[in-house]
Amino acid sequence: MRITFFGTSHGVPEANRKCSSSLIEAGGKKYLIDAGTNPIDDLVTMGLRPEAVAAVFITHLHGDHTDGLVHFADLLSWYYKEASPVFYVPKPGVPDALRPWLSLNGVALRDDLEFRVIREGVFYDDGVLRVTAFRTGHIDVSYAFLLEAEGKKALFTGDMKHETGPLDDYARFAESHVFDFAAAECAHFDAMLYEAPLREHPPKLFCFNHYSPRYEESCRHLARELDGTVPVIFATDGRMVDL
């Protein structure tokens, strides 16, 4: 499994850090997690075409994870008409929200684009990639995703509960799985809250993604504290991780 981070910033962009979006490649197939930036820009820059994307998984409906959906649906509706990823979204109503805006731009949202509502538990399995959704306490409906492919398990936390996400959300997911990779947010709490769950259930590789400058020093502090126990890396836009 290969992960390429398209956007790694927190709620707002930082210099050279766009909002959330990641490309997952496994078994010759491609998938996206979140579209807080315009993923087609990054796909094209990598020499890939939107037709290659099998599915788009959205963790929750906040703009820093979804604003790129407008761009994506726009281009698929009038230009990349052969591209038909299935969009997995946390709530119904997404196509109804996209349609009037695209219409104002003179574009009819393609009727054949499929939007499916995510349910907790295993909600996707195409024989290559299996995706499990865990509820998080971030907002009324928000998810972390466990991706399983090629014998590897990768967690994307999405956004978690304000103030206590690592203890209330991350610790719960880690209880039942050993992650080969965990891409974890740090925009809503001090990173040191990860220390206990990471020591108890260490992933093979822990990656700060969607971290705020406000908590960056605590992220670096945690990395130093866990040195020799859990390898900690920092996602940057364009960074690739092979599992």
| DSSP states of 209-242 | EEE-HHHHHHHHHHHHHTTTTS-EEE--TT-EEE
Give the residue among 88, 83, 189 at the shortest CA–CA distance from 137.
Answer: 189
Min separation Cβ 16 and Zn ion, Å: 21
Which residue, 25 or 159, has its beta carbon nearer to Zn ion? Answer: 159
Helix 63-78 to helix 94-104 angle (10° resolution) is 60
Does position 188 bind Zn ion by CB under 5 A? Answer: no
The one segment of 21-29, 106-114, 121-129, 159-167 that binds Zn ion by CB under 5 A = 159-167
Q: Name residues contacting Zn ion, limited to 51-80 (CB under 5 A).
A: 62
The one segment of 46-54, 72-80, 128-136, 153-161 that binds Zn ion by CB under 5 A = 153-161
Min separation Cβ 161 and Zn ion, Å: 11
Longest dimension (CA), the chain: 56
Which residue, 199 or 214, has its beta carbon nearer to Zn ion? Answer: 214
Q: Which of 25, 148, 159, 185 binds Zn ion (CB under 5 A)?
A: 159
Min separation Cβ 153 and Zn ion, Å: 24
Which residue, 30 or 62, has its beta carbon nearer to Zn ion? Answer: 62
Whether residue 243 contacts residue 216, with contact meaning beta carbons closer than 8 Å, is answered with no
Q: Which residues of the chain form beta strands (DSSP E)?
A: 2-7, 21-26, 29-33, 53-57, 86-89, 114-117, 121-125, 130-135, 143-149, 152-156, 181-186, 206-211, 232-234, 240-242
- Compute CA distances 177 → 101, 115, 152, whole Å: 41, 29, 11
Which residue, 52 or 70, has its beta carbon nearer to Zn ion? Answer: 70
Which residue, 159 or 180, has its beta carbon nearer to Zn ion? Answer: 159
Which residue, 159 or 169, has its beta carbon nearer to Zn ion? Answer: 159
- The residue of the chain with the least Cβ separation from Zn ion equals 62
Q: Which residues bind Zn ion (CB under 5 A)?
A: 62, 159
